[in-house]
Structures are given as C-alpha cells and as structure tokens.
Amino acid sequence: MEDGHYRSPNKYANRVRSWSAVPRLEQPRPLRATAPASSPRDRLAAWQNITQTGLVRVSVSRTNRSPPEGDQSQVHRLECSVEWPPDHTAAYLLPDEEPILVDAGMAGERARTELIDGLEAIGYEPGDVDHLLLTHAHIDHIGQVRTILEAGDPTVYAPARLRELFRRDLETVEAATRANLRETGFDSDRLEVAADELLEIHRGIREAVPFEAVDVWIDADEPVEIGSREFDSIYTPGHHVTHHCYGTELGGERVVFAGDMAIEPFRAAAIHVNFDDGVREGIDAYLEALDRLADYSFDRVYPGHGPVHDRYRETIERSRADLEDRLDRCVERLADRCAGGEESVTAIALVRDRSDDVRTRVMMLRETVAALGTLERRGRVESRLDDGVRYYEPA
C-alpha cells in the first residue's frame, strides 16, 4: 500500500478507492484489568478473545506449537502475536496446487509483518494464496484479510452468518447492545463506555473483511469445495455466532481446522454475539456446537490457539464439562446472594465484586448473562424484567 491506496491489479481493483478510506486496525495494547488502554481500538481484540477457564493464563511455548513431522508437514502453521494469553493466533497454509490459507491472523502492522515473514519462510508470498477460508469473524482471525487481497486474487470463503451481520445496520446493533447492557443492571455512565467499546468491535469486523470481497458464503453444515479439496463445514456458534470448523482428509488422516473450538489446553469464551440480541443464548449455542462436533471424528486438530494436537474427543468433553461447571457456579453465586438477604439479583451484581474495571466486567458478563439464560430455560432460576433491568432468583 502506498499513500493510502491499494495498487494490486486484481479483480478487486474497482473497489480500491472505497477500501483506501478505511484505516487499518492498530495492534492492541497489553491486556490489563486494572489499567485499560486509552483507545477503544487498542483494546478491540482483547475484548472479544479473552479465554474463560481456570487455565486462562496458560501460555503455550513455541516449541510445542509446531505440527509434527511426516504427513502433517503438508500444513504450514503461521503465527501472529497477540497481547493476551496464549500470546499467539495461528493461521494455516495448505500448499496444494492452489494454496489454501485458513484464517488471516491478527490486525496491525506487527502481525502483517509476521504473516508475510511466515509465508516467505516456507517459500510463499501473500499473492500466492489462491483460496482464503475464514473460520469466524474475530479480529485475530481476519486481521490480515486485506493484506492477502491487496497482494493477489484469492477466492474468499466466509460463513454465511457473517453476511447476516453485515446486513444489519449499526444503529440497530447499537440499540440492541445498549438495551441488553441495561438489562444486566449496568449503571448509565459505565454502560456508555461499554457500549462504545462493543460497537467498535462491530465496526472493526466490517473494516477488516470487505463485504464485496467474499466470493463464497458458506452455509451451515454444507460441504464446500476449495481447489481440489472438499471440506466438511461444521457450524459451531457459541464462541462466536459466525464460527465454523472445517474438516478434511490430509495425509491419510481426518483433520479439522477448528478455529477457536477444540483448543488444548483451554476453552475459548462464550462470546457469541457480545451484547447484541442473542446474548442470553450464548452457552446454549456453545453446547449445541459441541454436540455437533461430537458427531465427527478427527485424528488431528489444527486450532487457532494452542498446539496442534490429537485430543479432539477429549477437548470436546472438557469444554462441555467446563460449561456445565460454570452453570453450577453461577447458580451457586446467585443462591448465596439471595440467601444473604437480597430478594433478587442483577447479572452485574454477580460480577461486580470480582472486578471494578468496565472491560473486565463486560468480559465476565457475557458468559454470566448466557449462563443465567440457560439456567432459566432449564428451570433452575427465574427472572423478571423491571423498567428494563432483569432480576434473577433461584427457582
């Protein structure tokens, strides 16, 4: 890119002017619960990608991240740094006759350099990518889509649910986000800060993946042919509403490019829709995704974080157990608060004593609200809506 204009003579050339007006997302600053970064964009990725289990601080050493030798050398792992555990995000290049790139790394200039250097180390350039396949619309997986587009002429494949998100105007998203934050019991001043940060995520996704650049919208659970290869498309929401895993055969093995599902050794958070409409369905969606994954069998997992591994079944079972444990702990906290004299409790009250930082509260709240929604549908808690605020008590 030079002077803010793309110069690639590819099929997207007619769209260059509209893209050049959109600034690149900056690399986020280190994630700190007590000292948040000054800019919403600096914190964009950290808001949407924090992990949510007791293993949240586990970092995976680089020596453990490399794929094994042998047939699996058909896949090249490309890592970009991120400023939160586990300190990296991974994309994968399949060096077929028509090279396929699964995901596109983190946003920012550092990640751009890392992705280009990683490709060059295995004898490729961004312009050599013929097919770009996206697992989900989080910025650490779509951050360098434009780098690939400006360098060449790839066919871009993205989940059809992303198209649905693009078609919603931001005013509608903003109204839903504010209403759902208010429902948690957020006070008005902090609600404004949280809403602004969350809306920045939606804007960032639209900046990172130009709607008109997507050639193939992938429908849930429909196989997709990419180059000479066929992938099973497995719809796996919960971590994000757009999330898909892609299974294929490689070197005599059944493998899955899992994005942020089936990660070892932790579970990605149930972010789902952030605080757009559907936030109360996040954990149900996650559990349904795990049910869907359990219908498949894979010999090897290529995840977006953590090491390549062969513990597919174990990670699915562990994620399910972790979600169920989270539900139990949520209803226990609710019961303790109500036993202490409170007739009913808001969602924000269940996380208020765990952090005073707005960003950290929002990250906790996403799963707490989703957990309360699941618990209410299971008949374990009850709720009432009073002047836009939802109050919960044990059933």
Query: How does pLDDT run across 316-344, given as a tens digit for each residue?
Result: 999 999 999 999 999 999 999 999 889 99
Q: 3-state secondary structure string, 355-374?
A: CCCHHHHHHHHHHHHHHHHH
- What domain range is 58 assigned to? 13-319
Rounded mean pLDDT of 17-45?
33
Same structural domain for residues 185 and 133? yes
Question: 293 φ, ψ to 5°?
Answer: -65, -35
pTM: 0.84
Whether residue 346 is found in the same domain as residue 266: no
Instruction: Specify the CATH number for the domain of residue 19.
Output: 3.60.15.10
335 and 312 share one domain: no
pLDDT at 354: 81
Residues 238 and 262 in one domain: yes
Asked if 362 and 228 sit in the same domain, the reply is no
**Positive or negative torsion for Cα 217, 218, 219, 223:** positive
User: Does the residue 164 lie in any domain?
Assistant: yes
Sheet holding 76-81, edge to edge: 76-81, 88-94, 100-102, 131-133, 155-159, 216-218
- Shared domain for 62 and 133, answered yes or no, is yes
Taking only the tens place, the pLDDT of each residue in 44-56 is 444 444 444 433 3
Query: What are the angstrom distances between the C-alpha of 288 and each of 101, 236, 295?
Result: 27, 8, 11
Q: Indicate the range of 35-44, 265-274, 374-383 predicted with least confidence.
A: 35-44
Of 319, 337, 358, which one is at a domain's C-terminal end? 319
Establish if 229 belongs to a structural domain: yes
Statement to judge: residues 54 and 181 lie in one domain: yes
Final residue belonging to a domain, choices 270, 293, 319: 319
Residues 339 and 241 in one domain: no
Question: Does residue 64 surpass a pLDDT of 50?
Answer: no
**Interval 193-222: pLDDT, tens:** 999 999 999 999 999 999 999 999 999 888
> Is residue 125 predicted with pLDDT exceeding 50?
yes
Confidence of residue 300 (pLDDT cuts 50, 70, 90): very high
Q: What is the mean pLDDT of residues 370-388?
A: 98
pLDDT-above-70 percentage for the chain: 82
Share above pLDDT 90 across residues of the chain, in percent, rounded to a whole number: 74
What is the pLDDT at residue 221?
Answer: 81
**Res. 102: pLDDT tops 60:** yes
pLDDT score recorded for residue 94: 98
Instruction: List, as own/partner pairs, every contact residues 68-71 make where C-beta atoms lie below 8 angstroms and the sequence separation is at least 24, other chains included.
Output: 68/308, 70/251, 71/250, 71/251, 71/252, 71/253
Domain end among 288, 319, 350: 319
Q: How many domains does the chain have?
A: 2
Distance, in Å, from the CA atom of 139 to the CA atom of 136, rounded to the nearest integer, reads: 9
| 222 shares its domain with 356 | no
- Quote the tokens at residue 206: 């639209």
Burial of 341 (0-12, 13-18, 19+ CB in 10 A): exposed
CATH code at 334? Answer: 1.10.10
The reply to whether 8 falls in a domain is no
Once rounded to an integer, what is the mean pLDDT over residues 168-185? 96
Query: Is residue 233 scored above 50 in pLDDT?
Result: yes
- The radius of gyration of the chain's CA atoms, rounded to the nearest angstrom, is 21
In this prediction, residue 85 carries a pLDDT of 87
**Are residues 183 and 162 part of one domain?**
yes
**Nearest in space to 99 (alpha carbons), one of 126, 134, 137:** 126
CA distance 221 to 238: 16
Domain-embedded: residue 380: yes
> What pLDDT was estimated at residue 24?
30
- Same-domain status, 236 and 264: yes
pLDDT at residue 28 is higher than 60: no
Mean pLDDT of 5-15: 37
The one-character DSSP state at 384 is E
The pLDDT mean for the chain works out to 85
Euclidean distance between CA atoms 352 and 130, whole angstroms: 48
Q: For residues 57-63, give the mean pLDDT.
A: 31
Is residue 324 a part of any domain in this protein? Answer: no
262-297: pLDDT as tens digits: 999 999 999 999 999 999 999 999 999 999 999 999
| pLDDT at residue 256 in the model | 99
Residue 40 has pLDDT above 50, yes or no: no
- The more confident residue out of 393 and 67 is 393
Residue 6, in any domain of the structure = no
Residue 73 pLDDT class (50, 70, 90 cuts) = low
Query: Do residues 335 and 254 both lie within one domain?
Result: no
